[in-house]
């Protein structure tokens, strides 16, 4: 420090602070790259498709999601031959951590039971595949597991982490 200037410099601290700053910049860049990849939701890392063993049900879910930000679950179901309805159930624990905005197509009925909600959709008989999408907004925080399936058919489990 200059002898004739009372400025309160602290060079050892300053050097350390610069080093920490450089590390900070690196972390900042890494965080942003991770964000581009979807490590904080909304990107390729965040999406996942889970399918049942027999391939009759597959669900595109968000493994990493954000509280209060629009999300969705997309289902592809191979209905039973000749059936004119498809019944999908979602476990209640998962449903309670979401706000369901819209469901496409509209379910014909919704039945609540102790541990699940069952949605019944009308389908044309012998349709090879139906697609159903649930537009949701995550309302919980942290890790949760969800399970959904076709009544008397295949089911899938998935995990979801919701960022604040």
Partner 1 sequence: MGSVVRGLAVYGFLLLLFRVTGKRSLAEITTFDAVLLLIISEAAQQALIDGDNSMTNSFLVIATLLAADVVLSVLSLRYRRMGRLINDVPLVLVEHGRPLQDRMRKVRVEESDVLERARELQGLRSLEEVDYAILERSGTITIIPRAQP
Q: Which residues contact 15 (CB under 8 A, 6 or more apart)?
A: none
Binding mask 45-74 for partner 1 (x = CB under 8 A): -----------------------x------
Residue 2 within binding range of partner 1, rule CB under 8 A: yes
Task: Tell whether residue 142 is a contact of partner 1 (CB under 8 A).
Answer: no
Check residue 1 for interaction with partner 1 (CB under 8 A): yes
Beta strands in 43-129 (DSSP E): 47-51, 57-62, 64-66, 71-77, 85-91, 98-104, 109-112, 116-122
Question: Residue ranges of the alpha helices (H) in 38-112?
Answer: 92-95
**Residues of span 11-50 touching partner 1 by CB under 8 A:** 13-14, 17-18, 20-21, 24-25, 27-28
Q: What angle do CA 100, 102, 105 make, to 5 degrees?
A: 130
Count the residues in the chain. 164
Stretch that binds partner 1, among 8-16, 43-51, 78-86, 142-150 (CB under 8 A): 8-16
Q: Which residues bind partner 1 (CB under 8 A)?
A: 1-2, 5, 7-10, 13-14, 17-18, 20-21, 24-25, 27-28, 68, 164
């Amino acid at each position: 420090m200059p002898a004739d200037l009372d400025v309160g410099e602290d060079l050892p601290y300053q050097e350390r602070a610069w080093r920490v700053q450089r590390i900070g910049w690196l972390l900042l860049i890494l965080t942003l790259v991770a964000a581009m990849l979807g490590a904080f939701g909304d990107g390729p890392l965040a999406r996942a498709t889970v399918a049942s063993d027999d391939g009759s049900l597959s669900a595109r879910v968000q493994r990493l999601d954000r509280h209060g930000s629009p999300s969705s679950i997309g289902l592809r179901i191979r209905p039973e031959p000749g059936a004119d309805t498809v019944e999908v159930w979602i476990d209640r624990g998962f449903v309670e951590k979401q706000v369901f905005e819209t469901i496409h197509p509209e379910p014909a009925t919704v039945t609540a039971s102790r541990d699940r909600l069952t949605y019944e959709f009308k389908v044309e008989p012998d349709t090879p595949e139906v697609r159903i999408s649930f537009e949701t907004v995550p309302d919980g925080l942290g890790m949760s597991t969800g399970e959904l399936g076709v009544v008397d058919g295949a089911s899938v489990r998935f995990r979801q982490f919701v960022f604040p």
